[in-house]
Amino acid sequence: MATSMVRSMVRSMATKKITITLPEEQLDLVRDLVAHGQAASISSFVQQAVDASLHDSNAWALELARGLEETGGPLTAAEIAWADEILGIGSSNSTARS
């Protein structure tokens, strides 16, 4: 089998079909991109968008970790409590923190 065919088969075996919900206006814009050849398909556009978002999220986490390391390491319990108080996030808030 040709290498590109094997890669294609591996990639397709490693994917999972899902259903997503988008505002109609966004879907129309993505369809226009596909129609004008600016995206291969709706699925590939969504894959690229998810990839970019994950990359941004990972880059932000790395930057945060680097900043914390440069300024003394992870936040202490006292620093977290102070920030929670300033932000209005506290034990009286019903939102659970993870």
Helix (H), strand (E), coil (C) string for 5-53: HHHHHHHHHCCCCCCCCCCHHHHHHHHHHHHCCCCCCHHHHHHHHHHHH
pLDDT digits (tens, 9 = 90+) for 12-39: 568 899 999 999 999 999 999 999 999 9
pLDDT digits (tens, 9 = 90+) for 46-84: 999 999 999 888 888 888 888 888 988 888 899 889 999
pLDDT confidence of residue 39: 95
Verdict on whether the full-model pTM lies above 0.85 = no
